[in-house]
Amino acid sequence: MIHNQACDVLERLVNRVERVIIGKRNEIELAVVSMLQGGHILLEDVPGVGKTMLVRTLAACVGGTFGRIQFTSDLLPSDVTGVTVYHPQYGNFEYRPGPIHSHILLADEINRAAPRTQSALLEAMEERKVTVDGVTYSLPQPFLLLATQNPLEYEGTYRLPEAQLDRFLMRLSLGYPVPEQEIELLGRNQEHVSDIKPVLLPEEMVVMQRQVRLVLVDDRIKSFLVGVANASRHHTHLSLGISPRGTLAWMGAAQAMAYYKGRSYVIPDDVKAVAGAVLGHRMMLKTEAKISGMSGEDIVSDLLKRSDIPLFNRASGGTA
């Protein structure tokens, strides 16, 4: 798919989702950017703000297969990955795929499942495959996991380990709409997700993901990314800074943002636009910082202010 055509399709995709999720264009754009990079998304917010609806609408617009798992304390790993069944009449085993074999998978309230079940997602998130009874099965392409969790209710939940949090490209929060947007929402006839027609096909998304990897990143921008990551590892309010995987994810998300904006090269604005969503959940705050009300996004903002962002000549696509 030619880049200009891809940009038009992505613009239609964002506009289509915004007709359902009102007033959250920035969050929708970040979700689409994450999908372009092939990254998974953690939607962390209070109930009733449209997390599940956002995932279902994105899945309907992208087409392909959609799977949903309602995570509960009694959910087993085999309920996620699938199970091998023995047929005595034939004397053989048959693999029955689980819901994880979908182009887009919604893991609803992911933190309500036990760690053993959460770990069933790790191989799929990192390598796009699952292993059941010693046999490895590839997942469809693209495979995108969008998980939700409520950050306020902790009874009966299990905290996501850092290793799993680090595998989510972005953590997004929708928040409450402003009064004007909520009035508009009340005045609309709710559109059923099943009536939404796909804007693009999974094969087209795979082509776009390949093109995103070809977006140029100047060496000075790479140095800036590494400088911020290194500064986080010595930040007074952090006990755990940005990992090298986090730096790679940040660069990939910036490439996807540049691609979405119609450019073949990354500029500092791309880097800053995705920083909070990509880095906020990858750092561990010290106890005193948490008590004072600081968040990972606050630390990211502080790191960006302290770092020298490279000057950039937009006309030539290079640094000055």
Residues 138-147, mean pLDDT to the nearest whole number: 94
Query: What is the pLDDT averaged over residues 190-205?
Result: 82
d(Cα 49, Cα 24) in Å, to the nearest integer?
A: 11
pLDDT above 90: residue 195: no
140 and 99 in contact (C-beta within 8 Å)?
A: no
Q: Which of the 8 DSSP states describes residue 111?
A: G
Mapped onto helix, strand or coil, the DSSP state of residue 239 is strand
Cβ-based neighbour number of residue 137 at 10 Å: 16
CATH 3.40.50.300 fits 3-210, yes or no: yes
Q: In this predicted structure, what is the pLDDT of residue 319?
A: 43
Token pair recorded at residue 104: 């887009």
Q: For 190-197, which contacts have Cβ atoms below 8 Å and span 24 or more sequence positions?
A: 191/19, 191/20, 193/20, 193/53, 193/56, 193/57, 193/60, 194/60, 196/16, 196/20, 196/57, 196/60, 196/61, 197/60
The tokens describing 252, both together, are 């990939």
pLDDT category of residue 67 using cuts at 50, 70 and 90: very high
pLDDT digits (tens, 9 = 90+) for 198-249: 999 999 999 999 999 999 999 999 999 999 999 999 888 888 889 999 999 9
CATH for 214-306, options being 3.30.530.20, 2.40.50.100, 3.40.109.10, 1.10.8.80: 1.10.8.80
Q: Structural domain boundaries of the chain?
A: 3-210, 214-306
